């Protein structure tokens, strides 16, 4: 189990857009889906491409390089060539701060 770290302000996150936050060991994509905040590794499991620059279609992100698709709520692969799920992280909101549970 990791520790929650402040990565963004809620006001930084816009529905349909990916906000990228970096820590010492992680690069995390964050987005709003209604009242929910989703956090996921900014790394396509197929070839290591930054996935945050891909298209976000609701709760599905499409890798810009080979079009692998992932559900950002669950991390599940939806379309090859990726076969490994995308890491997703627990989030919580404290005031206007978005905190993400990460292991260092």
Q: Is 9 within 8 Å of 96 (Cβ atoms)?
A: yes
Distance between CA atoms of 95 and 72, rounded to whole angstroms? 23
**Domain count of the chain?**
1
User: pLDDT tens-digit profile of 43-82?
Assistant: 999 988 899 999 999 999 999 999 999 999 999 999 999 9
**Residue 77 domain boundaries:** 3-102
How large is the average pLDDT for residues 11-39?
96
Closest to 89 (Cα-Cα) out of 69, 104, 103: 103
Q: Tokens 């590794």 identify what position?
A: 41
Q: What is the CATH number of the domain that holds 29?
A: 2.102.10.10
* Whole-prediction pTM: 0.94
Burial code (b: 16+ CB inside 10 Å, e: under 16) for 52-91 equals: bebebeeebbbbebeebbbbbeebebeeeebeeebbbbeb
User: What is the structure's pLDDT at 55?
Assistant: 96
pLDDT band at 1 (very low <50, low <70, confident <90, very high): confident
């Amino acid at each position: 189990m990791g520790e929650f770290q402040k990565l963004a302000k809620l006001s930084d996150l816009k529905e349909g857009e990916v906000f990228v936050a970096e820590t010492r060991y992680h690069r995390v994509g964050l987005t709003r889906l209604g009242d929910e905040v989703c956090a996921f590794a900014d790394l396509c499991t197929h070839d290591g491409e930054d996935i945050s620059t891909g298209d976000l279609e609701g709760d599905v992100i499409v890798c810009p390089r080979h079009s692998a698709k992932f559900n950002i709520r669950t991390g599940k692969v939806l379309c090859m060539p990726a076969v490994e799920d995308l890491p997703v992280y627990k989030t919580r909101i404290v005031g206007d701060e978005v905190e993400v549970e990460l292991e260092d």
